[in-house]
Structure 1
Amino acid sequence: MLTDLISARSQFAAGQSDAAAELERCITAAEGPACAHVFRQTCHDEARAVATAAGIEQLPLAGLAVSVKDLFDIRGLTTAAGSTVLADAPPAQADCTAVARLRRAGAAILGHTHMVEFAFSGVGVNPHFGTPAAHDARFGALPGPARVCGGSSSGAGVSVATGAAFIGLGSDTGGSIRIPAALNGIVGFKNTARLVPTDGAIPLSTTLDTACALTRSVRDAIAVHEILAARRVTRSPAPLSTWRLAVPSTLFLDGLDEAVARAFERTLEQLRRAGARIAEIALPETAQLAEVNATGGFSAAESYAWHRQLLQRHASRYDPRVRSRIERGAAMSAADYITLLHARRAWIERMQAAMAGYDALLSPTVPILAPTIASVAPGSERDAEFFRVNGLLLRNTSVVNMLDGCALSLPCHQAGELPVGLMVWQAALRDDAVLNISLLIEQELQKQ
C-alpha cells in the first residue's frame, strides 16, 4: 500500500526520508509505464526546486508531489482542458486560487494531468491524447485488459493511484473526483461546491462545478480540504456507533454488478459488527431527478454558453461525444433554465427533509466495475456502449451534485477484487460530518 501524505511527513520528521528523495520517487513513477497518458505537461525541475527549498518540510504539504487537472491554471503552462481546441492558447499568467493555495502550503507541482475533453464524461476516454488505464492503489496493476480509470479527472486519479502524486487536484461536476477514486482504489472528496473557489478553471457547469482533490487516505483528504477551502475541519471524538447512518434503496442499488453488491454488503456488515447504526430508507426523492432535469440539464446549458463561439470556429476539432452533449444546450430556452433552477431548489428542500434524521448516507460510489478501455474507445460503433457506461458511472454520484451536497468515496474492496468505492454523503455544508464518519469507516475497513 502506498505511503500517504501524513505518513510521509512523519518520516521526514523522523529523518527516515526527505522531500527531495520522495519527489524523485514520484517523478520516477510519473515517467513509468503505469502513468502512460497520465500527464499532459510537466514541470519537474520547478518541482525539484520546491522540494529542496530551505524549510519546505515545515509546511503542511512539505514539498510533496501534487498533480493538477488540465483545466486549472498553472502559471507558465497552457490550460487546454484535454482538448486540441485550446492547444494554442497562451500560457497562464498566474495560478488559479486552488493551485496557489496548494503552492503556498508547500506543494511541489508536477504539472497538468490528462482529462476528458472539457470535463464532459465520467468514463475517462480522450480521443486526442490517449486514455490512462486504471491502477489499484492498494493492490497494484489490475489483471487482464486495460480498464477505464474514470473521469473526468482521469489522469489525476491514476497519478495518485500509481504513486506519482500524493494529491491530484481535480474537479467534480457530476462525479469526476469520486468516479476515478472508486475505479482506482483511492479516496476522493467532493466538498460543498461553494467552499473552494473555482476561478482560474475552465468551467463545465458554473452551477455544479466543484474544485476538490484525490488522495491516498481519508486523513489526507481532510488535510488537503483544509488547504483548498482555507478552513479547519471540526474533528469529532465520537465513535462510529454514535453516528446515524442510512442506506437509500431507490436508484443507488439498482442494477449493481455482482462484485459491487458483494463488496458493499460485506462493508455494511463489517460496520454493523463494529457498532454502526445503519438504517435502510427508500428516499424516493432520488427518482424525481429525471423530472427535475426534464427541461434540460445545467451542464449542457452552461457549457454551451461558454463554448458556442468556439464551436462556431472549431466544431470539427471537438470529441464528437463531447460536442453532441454541449450542443444540446443550444435548444434550452431561458424559461427552461429558470424552470430548472426552481425545480432544483424545491427538490433540494425535499431531499434535505428526508435526510434530516441522518448524519450521512452510504451508497456504492458507482454501480459497476471498470469496463475495458477497448469496449468504450472512440468510434461510432461503440457510442451506444460508451453512453450506457457513462450514464451508469455518473448515476449515483451526480445525485450529490444536484443536491449541492458533499461526498467522499473510499475503497471497500479486498485483494483479488477489482476496485469498488463506498460513498459517504450528505447535503450542503455537512462536510465535517462526512469527513469524520469516513475516517472512522476507513479505520474499520483497514482491519480486513
Structure 2
Amino acid sequence: MSSPSDLTDAHRLLSMGRCTASDLIEDALARAHGEAARAFVRHFDAQARSAAFAADRAREAGAPLPSLAGMAISVKDLFDVAGQPTTAGSRVLQGRPAATTDAAAVARLRRAGAALVGHTHMTEFAFSGVGWNPHSPMPANPVTLALDATTPRIPGGSSSGAAVSVATGAAWAALGSDTGGSIRIPAALQGLVGFKCTARRVPLQGCIPLSPTLDTACAITRSVRDAVRMHEVLADRTVARRERPWPLWRLAVPRTLMLDGLEPAVARSFEAALDRLRQAGARIDEIDLPELAELVSLQARCSFAAVESWTWHRDLLATREAEYDPRVAQRIRKGQDVPASDYLTLQQARADWIQRVEARTAGFDALLSPTVPCVAPPIIGLADDDDVFFRTNALLLRNPSVVNLLDGCAITLPCHRPGDWPVGLMLWAGAERDDDLLTLAGAVEAALA
C-alpha cells in the first residue's frame, strides 16, 4: 500500500481497514524523534499511542470514526495540554506546573480523536515570523534542505516546529497560532497549506496570548481539504462549500505594497500561478488598494502586539528579563509607556481602516497576493546580526499581517513548481468569509496541481 497523501487520505484508508492507526502513529513518532527531533520541545508518545489504539478498537467494532481518529497532530507550545507544562518557547516559564485541563482548541482536537504527538518549537512567546529561538536549536527548513543541503534556511515562525512536524511527516496537521502570519509564513516557506480563519471562530482559552486583538488559533496542513477538516474541528462548525464555475468568482490582485520588492523566484511562481488560474477561467483584476500604504502611519505610535503583550509580561519582565530572548523583550517593552489614549486611538483608526478596505474590495470574492515576498532566507547571520534579523522579520510579516489587522481570513497554498523553492499564494478576504475562501482555495489547488 502506498503511503497516504494527507490526513483525509489516511482517515479514508483507516476507515476501510487498509491500515491501522497504530502503524501510522508509530511512523509519525519515529519521525518526531528522528528527522523532526528539533521540531519538538516535548513528546506525548504514550497518549498518542493510546489514542491510536482507541481508534483501531473503534474501527474493529464497526463504530463510526471521528474526523481525526488516531491521526498524529502536533500542538504549538502555546496551548495547554492536560498533564503537560506549557512554556511558549521560553526559559521564563520552565518549571511551570503542568496544565490541569486542555486548552479549548486542544479539547476539540481530542474530542475528534486526535493522537497528540507533542508540543512544537516556536519563537519565544510567538513574537517573530523568523522562527529563531536562542533557548532551543531552531529546526532547519526540511524542504529547502532537500533542495540545497549546503545552506540551512529558516523554517519561518512563529509556528516553526508546527510546520516542520507536518513537512517531515511527524504529524498530519499542526495546531498553531497566527497573530501576524505565524501560521502562513512557515507554511509558505515549507510548501504547505496554512489557513488563518476569522479570529473569533476558535476560542483562545488556555492559550498564552501575544495580542488578544489579533491572535488566531488555526492549523497547518498538507492540503486544502485537510485545512477544511481541521477548521471544522477547531471552530466546531461545518464549512458550507458553495461550489461555482470559475467565471463566477471575481478575484483581485492588489498592487499596493503586496508586490513590492518580490524576489525573482517568488515573482515567477506568483505570475505563473495567476496565468494558470486565468487559463482555468478565473477573472482576475489588478487594483490599487491605497489603504495598505497607511499601515506604517496607522501603527506609528503603538502596535497591538506591543501594548497587549506588555500587559501580560510586565510582572515577569520586572524580575526575570535577563532570561528572555533580548529581541523579544525589546519588542514587548515598546508597549511599556504607551498612553491609554494612543491605544484607544489605534483601535478607532483600525475600525475605520477596516471599513474603508472592505468598501474598496466589496466587489471581489477574494484577493490574491504572494504570502511572503521572499523564499526562505538562510539561517546564517540571523543569530548575531540584529539588523539582519529585524529586516528579515519585517519582510516576512509584511503581507500576511495585513489580514490580521483587517480581522479577516486567509489561506496560503503552494504555487511553485516541483523542484523550485517553496512559494506561497495567499488568498484573503474580510471577516466571516471563511467558507467561500476555503471553497475557492480548493478550486485554486486543483487548478495549480
Question: TM-score under structure 2 normalisation?
Answer: 0.96
2:338 is the alignment partner of 1:332: yes
Residue 140 of structure 1, CA deviation = 5.1
For residue 2 of structure 1, report the CA deviation from its aligned partner. 6.5
Which of 352, 361, 364 in structure 2 is aligned with 1:346? 352
Matched residue, 2:29: 27
The corresponding residue for 1:265 is: 271
Alpha-carbon separation, structure 1, partners of 2:171 and 2:381 = 28
- How far, CA to CA, are the matches of 1:2 and 1:242 in structure 2? 33
Q: Aligned partner of 1:266: which letter?
A: A
2:140 aligned residue = 133
Query: Aligned residue for 1:287?
Result: 293
Once the 2 structures are TM-superposed, how far is the Cα of residue 376 of structure 1 from its aligned partner? 1.0
Runs (4+) off by over 6 Å: none
Q: TM-score, normalised by structure 1?
A: 0.96
Name the counterpart of 2:410: 407
Letter in 1 for 2:9: S
In structure 2, C-alpha distance between the alignment counterparts of 1:235 and 1:3, rounded to whole Å: 22
Distance (Å, rounded) in 1 between the aligned partners of 2:418 and 2:224: 20
The alpha carbon displacement at 1:315 in A equals 0.4
Size of the aligned set, in residue pairs, is: 441
Residue type of the alignment partner of 1:430: R
Does residue 16 (structure 1) correspond to residue 15 (structure 2)? The answer is no
Secondary structure of the 1:37 match is helix
Q: What SS is found at the alignment partner of 2:425? A: strand
What is the match of residue 44 of structure 2?
Answer: 43
Q: Deviations over 1:116-171 (max 9, x none)?
A: 0000000000100110111239x956543111010000000100011100110000
Deviations 1:73-130 (A, max 9, x none): 0001110000000011100000000000000001000110010000000000010011
Is 1:204 equivalent to 2:207 in the alignment? no
Unaligned runs of 5+ in 1: none
CA distance in 2, matches of 1:278, 1:253: 15
Distance 2:355 2:418 in 1: 41
Aligned ranges 1:251-400 → 2 under 5 Å = 251-377=257-383, 379=384, 382-400=385-403
Match of 2:93 among 68, 86, 107: 86
Shift of 1:15: 2.4
Q: In structure 1, how many angstroms separate the alpha carbons of the residues matched to 2:377 and 2:268? A: 18
8 Å Cα contact 2:177/2:215 also seen in 1? yes
SS of equivalent to 2:418: coil
What is the aligned counterpart of 1:194 among 180, 195, 200?
A: 200
- Matched to 1:276, the amino acid is A
Task: Give the CA deviation at 1:13.
Answer: 2.5
User: Separation in 2 of the partners of 1:171 and 1:142?
Assistant: 29
**Amino acid in structure 1 at the alignment position of 2:39:** V
- 8 Å Cα contact 1:2-1:163 kept in structure 2: no
Deviations 1:340-390 (A, max 9, x none): 00000000000000110000000000001111111212x2xx110000000
- DSSP 3-state at the match of 1:58: coil
Contact 2:147/2:419, CA 8 A, preserved across alignment: no
Look up the match of 2:125. Answer: 118
Kindly, what percent of the aligned residue pairs are identical? 56
Matching residue within 78, 85, 108 for 2:115: 108
RMSD: 1.3
1:411–1:421 contact (8 Å) kept in structure 2? yes
**Aligned equivalents of 1:2, 1:17: Cα separation in 2:** 10
SS of equivalent to 1:287: helix
Shift of 1:310: 0.1
Q: CA deviation at 1:242?
A: 1.5
Paired residue secondary structure (2:399) = helix
Question: How far is 1:45 from its partner?
Answer: 1.3
The code of the aligned residue for 1:236 comes to R
1:4 matched to 2:6 = yes
User: How far apart, CA to CA, are the structure 2 residues paired with 1:115 and 1:142?
Assistant: 24
Asked if 1:441 corresponds to 2:440, the answer is no
* 1:302/1:317 CA distance change after superposition, 3 Å: same
Contact 1:193 1:404 in 2 (8 A): yes
Once residues 38 and 342 of structure 2 are traced to their aligned partners in structure 1, the CA distance between those partners, rounded to angstroms, is: 39
Counterpart residue type for residue 400 of structure 2: T
C-alpha distance after superposition, 1:209-237 (max 9, x if no partner): 00000011000000110110011111122
Q: Distance in 1 between matches of 2:30 and 2:417?
A: 27
Q: CA deviation at 1:262?
A: 0.3
Aligned to 1:228: 234
